[in-house]
Structure 1
Amino acid sequence: MPRMALGVAYDGSFWQGWQTQPSGRTVQDRVENALSTFLTEEVGTICAGRTDTGVHGLGQVVHIDTAVQRRMESWVRGLNALLPDSIAVQWAQTVPDSFHARFSAASRTYLYIVRNARVRSPMLYGRAGWVYHALDLARMREAAQMLVGEHDFSCFRSSQCQAASPVRTLQALEIDQHSDFFLFTFKANAFLHHMVRNLMGALLYVGQGKNEPSWMAELLRHRDRRLAAPTFSPDGLYLAKVDYPQEFNLPDISAREALFSHLGISLARC
């Protein structure tokens, strides 16, 4: 049966995460409902990464198996006509049976935007995190370097995490500042439940001077979630890009390009 890959973007503020729930208020539920109507048959999706309530998707990738034939443009326009305004298919492409949205992924990149200002902005509600204490970029960058590489991330793992192992390889953790905004880039082979939000909480503690950068190494060594900072809000977190082997020839849009395209921010400014 032919396999189809779809790139999906969504504003997570309206949804109870990606994974299907009895309430039906999830991105997966709405995407599968639209697919079933579009294809006139029940269809299940496999995604690259399950995002939590309030977390956004810019580069989510899913695959489905169906024998129904549709023009490529119809996959995008037809599905989007059936989806709510907060969810939209960005591209569609036929892939070989060897492609798997989750298991074929080589890495995943999450972005987190934080606005550092004394007063919150209602225009950024749900789209960016907010910290009113001053943040020190150099301190956060020093702490971030201790997290790069293969580590046991038990101290940054949710108690509800179902992963078989807490060991992950964080390939990159970059932090940039532009005016009042900080952009955090996390790239890894895979992430644990709440891992990015827990890392954010700890990095922001360091940035505010509550702990020294060396605290990161201590947290990794102790492997105890109770010693780390609280989980930070999901508001500014985006699943921005999923990387696959070149053999699948999927659209290759950088994480930043995806973010700035959707938010209407110029790349030249950051």
Structure 2
Amino acid sequence: MSVAGWLTEPLAYPFMQRACAATLAVGVAAPVAGVWATTRRLVYLTDAMSHAILAGVAAAALLGASLLVGGLVAAMAMALLVAVLVIHVRLSEDSAIGVAGQGLFALGIIGVSQSADPRALTHVLFGNPLTVTTADVIAELVVAGLVVLAVATSLPLLVATTFDPAHARTLGVRTGLVDTAVIVALGLVVVISLTTVGVLMALTLCIAPAAAARLLSLRIRRVLFLAAGLGVAAGLAGLMASYHLGLPAGPTVGVLAATEVALAALIRSAGTRFRHTGRVSPGERAAGPIHRSAGQR
């Protein structure tokens, strides 16, 4: 089979068209939000949130409600619980995140275990983009579009509060409100990642393309574009590989996203060595004519 056929054959099926649309939405939005998780050191919170939403998803499934809404409610509940544990109980932030995230994750596993479908837990944990409905795709496209639009319109504010929050506060910027908005955005992309990569791989799709992009560039706009491109590449390539090779989609996407980080590290290392090799030290420049003169004699 040709490369073109390998890519286009699956698109003849409606379920693959929906899966590609959902993967495209998540592949763009998750790394764009993930850039801010890495720069603001919110990776641990994002990881805990990706586990905590299982409780909301399980409750929504048992009640016949929207999984997207259930996951979002659980993410916000976790953020509130962390705030209570830190402010009122005086736990450290890391401890509060661990307690809230893992507690809700355990509660979610209990809830999913009550499902009549024994495959439900596997689908939630590892994702199954081949089962997404048209309503799921529309919801994910809307949420992804809102997240990307919010980042694009508030980019100067995000940069200021991320890299120099003290100065931003002196200018009257409500940094706490911006922090809350970033956490909400991370919660949204984690929730819409459920159908594509599942609870366990959601963090990978958020963080790995963002980390790879940061290895390749220091300019934030370029990092955002690179992260989105790498996220889409990992998502669609993983989806096609899972179709042709019979592999689980979520873990395949996760492996490819992690591989992008390794490749980015190699590219950066090679570029650094090339720049160092191409440089000539002042001592070498001074010695050059002497060596040439000696050779001529």
Structure with higher RCO (Cα < 8 A, 6+ apart)? 2
> Considering only CA atoms, is the larger Rg found in Structure 1 or Structure 2?
2
TM-score range, shorter chain: under 0.3
Tell me the TM-score normalised to structure 1 length.
0.23
- Which structure dedicates a bigger proportion of its chain to helix? 2
